[in-house]
Amino acid sequence: MLAALWWSAFTVAGIWGQNFVPGVDLLAAGLVVSLQEQTRSKTFWLAVAWIVLQEGIGSLAFGYGILWYGALTAMFFLGRWLFEAKSILFIGLIGISLGVLHFAFTLTLASLEDLALPQGRLLAESALQVLTFPACWWAADRLYPARLKKDERPL
Protein backbone atom coordinates (compact mmCIF):
# COMPACT_ATOMS: atom_id res chain seq x y z
CA MET A 1 0.00 0.00 0.00
CA LEU A 2 2.78 2.42 0.94
CA ALA A 3 4.63 1.63 -2.29
CA ALA A 4 1.51 2.33 -4.40
CA LEU A 5 0.97 5.66 -2.64
CA TRP A 6 4.59 6.66 -3.01
CA TRP A 7 4.75 5.78 -6.72
CA SER A 8 1.45 7.55 -7.37
CA ALA A 9 2.76 10.70 -5.72
CA PHE A 10 6.04 10.39 -7.63
CA THR A 11 4.15 10.03 -10.92
CA VAL A 12 1.99 13.09 -10.23
CA ALA A 13 5.05 15.14 -9.22
CA GLY A 14 7.00 13.97 -12.29
CA ILE A 15 4.21 14.81 -14.74
CA TRP A 16 3.64 18.15 -13.02
CA GLY A 17 7.38 18.92 -13.16
CA GLN A 18 7.51 18.12 -16.87
CA ASN A 19 5.15 21.03 -17.46
CA PHE A 20 7.91 23.34 -16.23
CA VAL A 21 10.78 21.56 -17.99
CA PRO A 22 9.46 20.59 -21.43
CA GLY A 23 11.30 17.89 -23.34
CA VAL A 24 12.78 16.33 -20.19
CA ASP A 25 11.55 13.06 -18.71
CA LEU A 26 11.47 13.34 -14.95
CA LEU A 27 9.99 9.85 -14.55
CA ALA A 28 13.10 8.14 -15.93
CA ALA A 29 14.87 8.53 -12.59
CA GLY A 30 11.96 6.77 -10.92
CA LEU A 31 12.35 3.82 -13.25
CA VAL A 32 15.98 3.44 -12.19
CA VAL A 33 15.04 3.68 -8.49
CA SER A 34 12.36 1.06 -9.07
CA LEU A 35 14.83 -1.19 -10.88
CA GLN A 36 17.15 -0.84 -7.91
CA GLU A 37 14.51 -1.40 -5.22
CA GLN A 38 11.44 -3.21 -6.55
CA THR A 39 10.52 -6.58 -7.84
CA ARG A 40 10.53 -6.85 -11.62
CA SER A 41 6.75 -7.19 -11.87
CA LYS A 42 6.15 -3.89 -10.02
CA THR A 43 8.75 -2.15 -12.17
CA PHE A 44 7.15 -3.58 -15.32
CA TRP A 45 3.74 -2.15 -14.40
CA LEU A 46 5.24 1.22 -13.49
CA ALA A 47 7.00 1.31 -16.86
CA VAL A 48 3.78 0.39 -18.69
CA ALA A 49 1.86 3.15 -16.89
CA TRP A 50 4.57 5.72 -17.58
CA ILE A 51 4.85 4.71 -21.24
CA VAL A 52 1.10 5.18 -21.68
CA LEU A 53 1.25 8.54 -19.90
CA GLN A 54 4.27 9.78 -21.86
CA GLU A 55 2.83 8.63 -25.17
CA GLY A 56 -0.44 10.35 -24.38
CA ILE A 57 1.06 13.70 -23.42
CA GLY A 58 3.83 13.66 -26.01
CA SER A 59 3.58 15.16 -29.47
CA LEU A 60 5.39 12.44 -31.44
CA ALA A 61 3.80 9.33 -32.88
CA PHE A 62 3.51 6.23 -30.72
CA GLY A 63 6.80 4.49 -30.04
CA TYR A 64 9.09 7.02 -28.37
CA GLY A 65 8.19 5.90 -24.85
CA ILE A 66 8.78 2.25 -25.61
CA LEU A 67 12.18 3.05 -27.12
CA TRP A 68 13.05 5.41 -24.26
CA TYR A 69 12.16 3.16 -21.33
CA GLY A 70 13.38 0.05 -23.14
CA ALA A 71 16.78 1.65 -23.74
CA LEU A 72 16.92 2.91 -20.14
CA THR A 73 16.16 -0.57 -18.80
CA ALA A 74 18.76 -2.15 -21.08
CA MET A 75 21.37 0.43 -20.03
CA PHE A 76 20.62 -0.27 -16.38
CA PHE A 77 20.99 -4.05 -16.68
CA LEU A 78 24.09 -3.86 -18.88
CA GLY A 79 25.75 -1.17 -16.77
CA ARG A 80 25.01 -2.97 -13.54
CA TRP A 81 27.57 -5.59 -14.55
CA LEU A 82 30.33 -2.97 -14.57
CA PHE A 83 29.22 -0.49 -11.91
CA GLU A 84 27.59 -0.47 -8.52
CA ALA A 85 23.88 0.16 -9.19
CA LYS A 86 23.75 3.21 -6.92
CA SER A 87 27.10 4.76 -7.79
CA ILE A 88 26.97 8.37 -8.90
CA LEU A 89 29.31 7.54 -11.80
CA PHE A 90 26.84 4.95 -13.08
CA ILE A 91 23.90 7.35 -12.68
CA GLY A 92 25.88 10.11 -14.42
CA LEU A 93 26.67 7.81 -17.35
CA ILE A 94 23.01 6.88 -17.64
CA GLY A 95 22.15 10.60 -17.62
CA ILE A 96 24.63 11.31 -20.43
CA SER A 97 23.31 8.34 -22.40
CA LEU A 98 19.75 9.56 -21.96
CA GLY A 99 20.72 12.98 -23.27
CA VAL A 100 22.22 11.42 -26.40
CA LEU A 101 19.23 9.10 -26.81
CA HIS A 102 16.76 11.96 -26.41
CA PHE A 103 18.44 13.81 -29.26
CA ALA A 104 18.68 10.72 -31.48
CA PHE A 105 15.19 9.32 -30.81
CA THR A 106 13.43 12.67 -31.15
CA LEU A 107 15.27 13.58 -34.34
CA THR A 108 14.63 10.14 -35.84
CA LEU A 109 10.92 10.01 -35.00
CA ALA A 110 10.39 13.61 -36.08
CA SER A 111 12.01 12.89 -39.44
CA LEU A 112 9.69 9.89 -39.89
CA GLU A 113 6.77 12.28 -39.43
CA ASP A 114 8.32 14.98 -41.65
CA LEU A 115 8.46 17.39 -38.71
CA ALA A 116 11.04 20.15 -38.70
CA LEU A 117 12.53 20.57 -35.24
CA PRO A 118 14.90 23.35 -34.24
CA GLN A 119 18.04 21.40 -33.46
CA GLY A 120 19.26 24.04 -31.04
CA ARG A 121 16.22 23.55 -28.86
CA LEU A 122 16.54 19.77 -29.12
CA LEU A 123 20.19 20.02 -28.09
CA ALA A 124 19.22 22.20 -25.12
CA GLU A 125 16.55 19.68 -24.05
CA SER A 126 19.10 16.89 -24.33
CA ALA A 127 21.62 18.80 -22.20
CA LEU A 128 18.90 19.50 -19.64
CA GLN A 129 18.08 15.78 -19.54
CA VAL A 130 21.75 15.05 -18.81
CA LEU A 131 21.72 17.54 -15.92
CA THR A 132 18.32 16.75 -14.41
CA PHE A 133 18.51 12.94 -14.44
CA PRO A 134 21.14 12.55 -11.69
CA ALA A 135 19.46 15.23 -9.55
CA CYS A 136 16.03 13.61 -9.93
CA TRP A 137 17.47 10.17 -9.23
CA TRP A 138 19.22 11.44 -6.09
CA ALA A 139 16.02 13.09 -4.82
CA ALA A 140 13.87 10.03 -5.60
CA ASP A 141 16.39 7.67 -3.99
CA ARG A 142 16.56 9.80 -0.83
CA LEU A 143 12.79 10.24 -0.60
CA TYR A 144 11.98 6.58 -1.29
CA PRO A 145 10.62 5.13 1.98
CA ALA A 146 13.33 3.33 3.93
CA ARG A 147 11.09 0.43 4.90
CA LEU A 148 10.54 -0.37 1.21
CA LYS A 149 14.23 -0.50 0.34
CA LYS A 150 15.53 -3.97 -0.45
CA ASP A 151 18.91 -3.48 1.16
CA GLU A 152 17.37 -2.41 4.47
CA ARG A 153 14.78 -5.20 4.77
CA PRO A 154 15.49 -7.90 7.33
CA LEU A 155 16.56 -11.27 5.96
Q: Which domain holds residue 50?
A: 25-146
Q: Where residue 150 falls among pLDDT bands split at 50, 70, 90?
A: low
Q: What is the mean pLDDT of residues 119-128?
A: 91
Q: How far apart are CA 94 and CA 88, in angstroms?
A: 10
Evaluate whether residue 12 is within a structural domain: no
DSSP letters, 73-92, are HHHHHHHTTTS-TT-HHHHH
Evaluate whether residue 109 is within a structural domain: yes
Q: Where residue 154 falls among pLDDT bands split at 50, 70, 90?
A: very low
Alpha helices in the chain (DSSP H): 2-20, 28-37, 40-57, 64-79, 88-112, 119-143
Q: Where residue 135 falls among pLDDT bands split at 50, 70, 90?
A: very high
Evaluate whether residue 32 is within a structural domain: yes
Evaluate whether residue 1 is within a structural domain: no
Q: How far apart are CA 24 and CA 74, in angstroms?
A: 19
Evaluate if residue 153 carries a pLDDT over 50: no
Q: What is the mean pLDDT of residues 129-140?
A: 95
Evaluate whether residue 18 is within a structural domain: no
Evaluate whether residue 16 is within a structural domain: no
Evaluate whether residue 17 is within a structural domain: no
Report the mean per-residue pLDDT for the chain.
86
